[in-house]
Chains A and B, each alone.
Chain A
Amino acid sequence: MEHTDPFAGERLKLSPFHARQAPMNLRDAWSSWNSYKFADYYYDAQYEYFCIRNTCGTYDICPMQKYEIRGADALAMLNRMVTRDVAKLKLDRVTYCCWCTDEGRMIDDGTIFRLGDDHYMLTCGSPCLAWLRQSALGFTELTVRDISEERAGLSLQGPTACAVLKAMGLAAIEQLKPFGILHFDFRGDTLMVSRTGFSGDLGYELWIDRSLALDLWDALYSAGEHHGIHPYGEAATNMARLEAGFIMPAMEFNEALKTVNFQLDQTPFELNLGWLVDFRKPHFNGRSALLRERDKGPKYTLVKLDIEGNKPANDAILYADRRCKGEIGYVTSAMWSPAAKANIALAMVRTKYLAGDIFAEIYYPKELRPYRKVARCTVRDKPFWAPARTRQTPAPDR
């Protein structure tokens, strides 16, 4: 008798790289992302983090959402949807962008790849097809296709990333500029490489048809054998991105379409992403609301904090004085940064209090018992991790 799985629809999907990643996940530390089985870490998050900072690591971005947007109206539709001017995006270039509701509240951030005259790829962390459909209303020369399942993506990040790709035989890869795209023949198909990533370090993202995912993995790991290549999971990527000052949904911002309480989402100005909002464009979604927000000034501003001591300030509430009277903000992400040797955090602070003293009320455990401390915070403008190689072309070997 044939056995049918009553929970078939509930089971997590497996990434095209799963066959290689699963045996390496020594701790079976799986969580999920967009209904894919996804590694939180493989063996030890700290170790994986050090691979990103000292050698290189791979991060599975198959669960990331990928949309192919084509047609004569593709540019007009994208340019109306996102706050940045996509008309400036040249062929084989990538741009970081965000998009907002009519009220200027941030729905998500992501990247747009320009792959042809009327051909773009949009990537983002959460499913966005419903919003794309709404955004497509009235644009007739347009097709929007979800290619998340058919395109495999693998991020390769760290100082030796370029050396690995060179060893794999990708000619002139070191000449690829940040946010540039190159195409290579790979097993009779095309391997697309973009110099992009989420680590704040030198890094690339590799895009290929899912049928060739394991071949790509093998070629990459064979080339990287002596360059310290290692897979890393969500925990290590979260450490790296925090040092780089990158925001995460559900941590720094609440996706506006999923926010239940009115205005507990954020605007790009609150998230310090005002530089993504191009008011020289006559129209884009949320423009009027964002213009008002710019002129009025955001109520909160996301800042990088350097906090005294070494106790991570997770979930800490911020005050303007040491006695903790009157809240002025809250920490969104925090960690001890091994690279910066600093106690760092991202925090939302009431804009008018930014110039004054900021204190974090931190609770930390010692042998199961919680302790409290109040630590002075200093606002930092620069990312905690931003090595020169991230921007250098040709990219160095390490």
Chain B
Amino acid sequence: MDRYDTIIVGAGHNGLICAAYLARHGQRVLLVEAADAAGGLASTREFHPGFHVAAAHTVYQFSPQIAKELELAKHGYADSGKPLSTIGLDPEGNHVAITAEGVSGVDAEDADRYRRYRAELETFRDALAPFWMKRMPGIGGNSAQELLTFAQLGLRLRRLGREDMLEFFRVATLPMRDLLDENFANDRLKAALSWDGIIGGRLAPRSPNQSVLMLLYRLCGEHGGQHVVPQAGIRGLIDALVAAATGAGAQLRLGAAVKQILVEGDESGLRATGVELASGERIAADRVVSSADPQRTFLELVGTRHLEIGFSNRIRRLRCEGYVAKLHLALAEEPRFRGLEQADGRMIIAPDLDAIEFAFDDAKYGQCSSDPVMEIVIPSLREPALAPPGQHLLSAHVMYVPARLKGGWTADAREALTSRLLDELERYAPGLRKLVLHAELLTPADLETLHGVTGGHWHHTEFAIDQLLMMRPTYEAAQYATPIPGLFLCGAGSHPGGGLSGAPGHNAARVILS
């Protein structure tokens, strides 16, 4: 039987990054992935003959440090090129556009306020930025390293100056709505700006908790929160990560679903010793690193019998229901949106904050909204290879769609939602329906089945103040090590979270190598 230093469960971007770092340090690393392609939620798949798409359709916070350290440029990951502008769509074509330069389509006061708003967020973002790429200190941990991290955080916030620091504490956990109402008048602008604070979570503009913190997290990467489609597409990023990992010597086995993480015990306690695949094959390793979500890792792959009782129940209580569905349209030709020369941005359908809130209200009670809100990208405009020549594809994140729909995801329920979404799109892009060659709707339940992520949640578990930083996913497992010696976490359920930043994979590798 082959023996590895480390087996990594799941070849999503975090698994690949962790594998690459470990392999570069000379470890024998095996990555096992249930799907037939690497990439997890960022893997590109053919959803209609000739049409390809990934669940994640843009990149906005990928760590430049990781790109540099893993020499991703050598492996074909070119910098992403021109960011997508964010466009708050208007059915009449009076759009609001947000770019790196500022906003257009709003009055002078909003445009002026936007500059100050952006500058303030960037100040806060910069104060927090170093902590996304660090292991968080354990609660009650008093090691020099842990105290230093706490001290650094305190110092960086203090260095903001008294007023900015107080303002940071005031806004960090504000609902998006309060922050935006304080600053702007234009409804469409407010709705578009709220988007990155709430998408992917069980949050709406009025939800208290951490949506501003989420926004700051999303502003922290290479692109300063601007969404991009990398030059070689999402596919190019994943291919580069695969090349970086395998190039460093890591082995990648696709189509190898893990049935259980093997845990053995004797008088010196328990230890993770390898994995058993669905095929029954057992592979031994000195340690196992799981990029699967915390519930799947602990409750299914490890099993509660090897865990502490309180800990198991904290994992059970993690909030892991995703509320974002994915709509993929194969289009006969380039779609035209009213008032846009080319639909080359990240377009948001949400007329105002209430529209988002009401859509959430429906989903909270297990229903699909009659007026869904969504984010639309035409990835084939940036990466033509995703569709046959001359043809295009539309990719949309649709909120809010419950994983557990009342009455279940029957064929009728899917058909009704798809049809509703096409009607809504038609209002903004007249004639679009006629271009549709094929429509695919992936509910959060489908994303769960397709990618093995509990609840189809983008971040594996809610990005919320009680599940963040040194509480992510929960204490006793928030520093990548787990209560079981030899078992580590490296996925989006660990600090800092998901969103194609790569930070959890990087941080986990650092802990393992230290």
Please determine whether chains A and B interact with each other in the same assembly: yes
> Which residues of A line the B interface, CB within 8 A?
76-77, 80-81, 101-102, 131, 134-135, 137-139, 279-280, 282-283, 285-288, 291
* Contact between B305 and A76, CB atoms less than 8 A apart: yes
Residues of A within 8 A of B306 (CB): 283
B313 to chain A: which residues have CB within 8 Å?
134, 137
Q: Which residues of B contact A286 (CB under 8 A)?
A: 308
Q: Which residues of B contact A134 (CB under 8 A)?
A: 309-310, 312-313
- In the assembled complex, which residues on chain B have CB atoms less than 8 Å from the CB atom of A131? 309
Q: By the criterion CB–CB under 8 Å, are B270 and A102 in contact?
A: no
In contact, A282 and B269 (Cβ under 8 angstroms): yes
Q: Which of B264, B265, B270, B312 contacts A138 (CB 8 A)?
A: B312
Which residues from chain A contact B312 at a C-beta distance below 8 Å? Answer: 134, 137-138
Chain A residues with CB below 8 A from B65, complex form? none
How far apart are the CA atoms of A151 and B123 in the complex, in Å?
A: 67
CA distance A167 to B312 in the complex (A): 51
Residues of the B chain whose Cβ atoms lie less than 8 Å from the Cβ of A137: 299, 304, 309, 312-313, 316
Say yes or no: A279 contacts B305, CB within 8 Å. no
List 9 tightest A-B contacts by C-beta distance, closest first: A282-B265, A138-B304, A102-B308, A102-B310, A134-B313, A285-B309, A280-B267, A135-B309, A283-B270
- Is A138 touching B305 in the complex (CB atoms < 8 A)? yes
* CB of B303 within 8 Å of the partner chain: yes
Complex Cα gap A285–B303 (Å): 14
Q: Which residues of chain B come closer than 8 Å to A81, judged between CB atoms? A: 309
> Given the complex of chains A and B, what is the CA–CA distance between A77 and B311 in angstroms?
15
B 306-333 contacts with A by CB, 8 A? 306, 308-313, 316
| Beta-carbon contact of B308 and A138 below 8 Å | no
- B301 CB, min distance to chain A CBs, angstroms: 12
Residues of A within 8 A of B311 (CB): 102
Report the Cα distance A30→B264, complex, angstroms.
52
23 A-B pairs, CB-CB below 8 angstroms?
Answer: A80-B305, A80-B309, A81-B309, A101-B310, A102-B309, A102-B310, A131-B309, A134-B309, A134-B312, A135-B309, A137-B299, A137-B316, A138-B312, A139-B305, A280-B267, A282-B264, A282-B267, A282-B269, A283-B269, A285-B308, A286-B308, A288-B269, A291-B269
For residue A291, which residues in chain B have a CB less than 8 angstroms away from its CB? 269
Q: How far does the alpha carbon of A285 sit from the alpha carbon of B306 in the complex, in Å?
A: 9
Decide if B266 is an interface residue (CB 8 Å cutoff): yes
What is the minimal beta-carbon distance from B476 to any residue of chain A, in angstroms? Answer: 8
Distance between A365 CB and nearest chain B CB, rounded to angstroms: 45
Instruction: Find the B residue at minimum CB distance from A133.
Output: B313
Interface pair A282/B270, CB less than 8 Å apart? yes
Closest to A285 in B: B309
Query: Smallest Cβ distance from B474 to chain A, in angstroms?
Result: 11
Assess whether B483 is interfacial by the CB under 8 Å rule: yes
CA distance A102 to B299 in the complex (A): 17
A286 CA to B309 CA, complexed, in Å: 9
- Chain A residues with Cβ below 8 Å from B266 are 282
Shortest B139–chain A CB gap in Å is 12
Residues of the A chain whose Cβ atoms lie less than 8 Å from the Cβ of B265: 282-283
Residues from chain B with a CB closer than 8 A to the CB of A279 are 267
A contact residues around B309 at 8 Å (CB): 80-81, 101-102, 131, 134-135, 137, 285
Question: Which B89-130 residues have C-beta < 8 A from chain A?
Answer: none
In the complex, chain B residues 261-281 whose Cβ is within 8 Å of any chain A Cβ: 264-267, 269-270
A102-B310, A283-B269, A283-B270 known, 13 other contacts, Cβ within 8 Å: A76-B305, A77-B305, A81-B309, A102-B309, A134-B309, A134-B310, A135-B309, A137-B299, A137-B313, A138-B303, A138-B305, A138-B312, A288-B269
Do the beta carbons of A138 and B267 come within 8 Å of each other?
no
Are B305 and A288 in contact (CB-based, < 8 A)?
no
Find the residue from B266, B270, B308, B309 having the highest chain A CB count within 10 A.
B309
